[in-house]
Amino acid sequence: MAELATDIDILIARELSNPRPAIVRMAEAAVPADAGPEPQPPKVQGRPVSRTVHGVTLTDPFAWLRADNWQDATNDVSLLPGDIRTYLEAENAYTKAMLADVGTLEEEIYQELRKRTKEDEQSTPFDDGSYQYYERGVVGKDYDLHCRQPKGGGPEEVLIDGNALAEGHSFFNLYATAHSPDHKLVAYAVDLEGSERYAIKVRDLAARADVSDTVSSTDGTILWSADSRSFYYVGVNENIRSQTVFLHRLGTPQADDILIYEEKDPGFLVQAGVTSSGRYLQVITGDNQTNEVWLKDLADPQSELTLFAARKPGVRTSVTHSGEKLYVLTNAGDAPDFRILEADAVDPNSAHWREIVPHVEGRPINEVEAVGAFLVRRDMLDGLDRIIVRFLATGEEHVVRFPEEAYELDFAIGYEFNTTKLRISYSSMTTQLEDYDYDMATQKRVLRRRQEIPSGHDPSAYETRRVFATADDGETIPVTLLYKKGLVFDGTAPALVEGYGAYGVPTTPYFDIARMSLVDRGFVYAIAHVRGGLEKGDRWYRLGRGPDKPNTFKDFIAVARMLEHERIVRPGGIAAYGASAGGMLIGAIANMAPGLFHTLVADVPFVDVLNTMLDSTLPLTPTEYPEWGNPEASEADFRLIRSYSPYDNVFLGTYPHLLVLGSLSDTRVTYWEPAKWVAKLRVADTGPNMLLLDIELNAGHGGGSGLTASQKRWARIAAFVIKAERAGR
């Protein structure tokens, strides 16, 4: 492997020394003599940098694309070094030129999305005391209004107008709003760069103006104290890591804020919340595999933050509360798919915890919350969400059921704790989002809101199915399909296959109007539930991380082959999409099975895996070691990551059509990862297919902010996929 990699590096180095790389030479050769000038890809300058790790010399020809002042540049694009900005802008210009011929199609899809979107749609209100709180859109505007009304009816009061706050800013993200318990104040967290460093401000609702308090460098968490005179927040340090919890008292400078908790381990990140009962502040610090839980009794002003569940490798725990009991969701005690235990709130010694919901392998419990006299949990069985309600007094349970073959199901706890009502949200690939008020005592539900599609949507005009692929090692991989009703599986339909497979995050089959623009044009939209997610429990996750990470990529390839073999899709007509860690998946299959896929879309892709995991100064690297491995400390991890890291396995040859998207202010997947990858592909890809890079210079991990930006982003992706599919017929 090492010799092969060295040979490829030498060949790429030769290409870099050629003033007209292979991709340019082949593009020129493919243009007829009488044709007009074709857009030419940017010329890529290599500045090789070498280092030795575990006895292996690594040469990175495009390390220069990482700006030394990258953190400053995420806040202000004008600080980006000129040569880097010139390159990124040249790539963006080339992408725009290459997609100019589908500009009409892109605009058509964008208009479809707008027509399917009710811009002034209102969320289902949650009651709190004498008010109902909700959000609603505004026709022609990108951001929501955060509002309230008196319960039972009355004039609307706009608390926060996102459009007014966004005015004059190229990026705007209103991450959270939280009204005070006395209903007189509302705190809100905003990010104006896309770097996910939020400033918290406080508005006096009577005065309709912000007070002087501003708390900067937070993760956006806002937790009010019962007296409405202070709030807890999570601080973000210079490495953009959330590792502190503070209490801010209104009217005092941030420098005087009281430190509640500080995490010293750079691999652990901090989260904070208040139990649904409002009784306990819960501080959870940890990584993807291990955490530690601290509790503070908010009913006792003199109470201190107390350790509830100490960190133990591989053990994760969270807590909810009702009455005199704490309810503990944990994988401790050989329970990888979690179990629920009951603890005494006065004496929460773990030696006295009592199991009330046992562990069942393959049925992961993802969430549990106490609501008055009930305990509600969401688990997953055979890759489908379930909601189970337990009456605490008797232990009796029932399952909330829905009829479709594949769907997404979730619940939300409102502001009021002592209630029998639960908010349930349901959607499927064919059925738009529905919100229900569910009475846990009577087991009856009332539809409160159905997502409105202004241009019309008939769920019966579409079909969704669950099929299965078989991996090389015999594992069965679930696949969810969406397609127009009546589509015949005769091997002629194109497809877009989506995948993720990381962090134990399941890819659920929810409703998304964006998919319809492809499905209405004859595409099959498929979700590959590959290993690395949680669709089949913790075992499914463990078989797709660390040393078993390659299973994620092999599963996706197996799904594509099954779709072809079963004539669900056209051979040579498969496009694939993945974002973030799913973008790593796209990069890996581009190297492993380039001939199987016609088109690939890598959205904010984590593709420079080895270099990123070798750099402990980056925001997420230390906390990611349990997921991917530590290539600096472990030679085995180094060799494993090097074996699949997309950037490190680029080969000289033909790649599928490829659209790569990134964002300058993205601190999760930094802009240079997709930029370096495309730069390397520019000199290695000798085929005739499109290779396009689109880096948004005023955006974060999810792209540009606001409704318009997100719709235009998807319209560009869909137009690219359709153009590539047409070229392959």
Contact 466, 405 (CB under 8 A): yes
Residue 183 parent element (H or E):
none
Using DSSP's 3-state secondary structure scheme, residue 89 falls into: helix
| Residue 666 bears catalytic tag | yes
What are residue 248's DSSP bridge partners?
231
Annotated catalytic residue, options 580, 645, 663, 665: 580
Question: What are the backbone angles phi and psi of residue 152, rounded to the nearest 5°?
Answer: 95, -5
| Residue 425 bears catalytic tag | no
Distance separating alpha carbons of residues 80 and 72, to the nearest angstrom: 8
| Residue 701 bears catalytic tag | yes
User: What's CA 485's distance to the chain center, in Å?
Assistant: 30
DSSP letter (8 states) at residue 195: S
DSSP letter (8 states) at residue 405: S
Burial 643-682 (b: 16+ CB within 10 A, else e): ebbbbbbbbeeebbbbbbbbbbbbbbbbbbbbbbbbbbbb
* Residue 428, Cβ density class (10 Å: 0-12 exposed, 13-18 middle, ≥19 buried): buried
Question: What are the backbone angles phi and psi of residue 538, rounded to the nearest 5°?
Answer: -60, -35
Neighbouring C-beta atoms of residue 154, cutoff 10 Å: 12
User: What's CA 360's distance to the chain center, in Å?
Assistant: 27
Distance separating alpha carbons of residues 728 and 392, to the nearest angstrom: 60
Q: Residue holding tokens 């725990």?
A: 317
**Strand 291-297 relative to strand 280-286: parallel, antiparallel, unpaired?**
antiparallel
Annotated catalytic residue, options 538, 598, 701, 705: 701
Residues 6+ apart with CB under 8 A from 182: 228
DSSP letter (8 states) at residue 37: P
Distance separating alpha carbons of residues 462 and 432, to the nearest angstrom: 12
Question: What separation, in Å, do the N-terminal and C-terminal C-alpha atoms of the chain show?
Answer: 36
Distance separating alpha carbons of residues 528 and 505, to the nearest angstrom: 13
Annotated catalytic residue, options 213, 219, 437, 666: 666
Distance separating alpha carbons of residues 668 and 450, to the nearest angstrom: 34
Distance separating alpha carbons of residues 622 and 614, to the nearest angstrom: 10
Residues 6+ apart with CB under 8 A from 34: none
* AA identity, residue 326: L
Question: What are the backbone angles phi and psi of residue 522, rounded to the nearest 5°?
Answer: 95, 0
Q: Looking at beta carbons, which pairs linking 215-221 to residues 24 or more positions away fall under 8 Å?
A: 215/246, 215/248, 215/254, 215/257, 216/254, 218/189, 220/175, 220/176, 220/189, 220/191, 220/196, 221/176, 221/189, 221/271, 221/272, 221/273
* AA identity, residue 491: G
Distance separating alpha carbons of residues 499 and 586, to the nearest angstrom: 8
**CA-CA-CA-CA torsion sign (663, 664, 666, 670):** positive
Reading the block at residue 229, the tokens are: 């005179």
Nearest partner of 493 among 428, 423, 556, 571, judged by Cα: 571
Residue 423 parent element (H or E):
strand 421-427
* Residue 459, Cβ density class (10 Å: 0-12 exposed, 13-18 middle, ≥19 buried): middle
- Catalytically active residues are 580, 666, 701
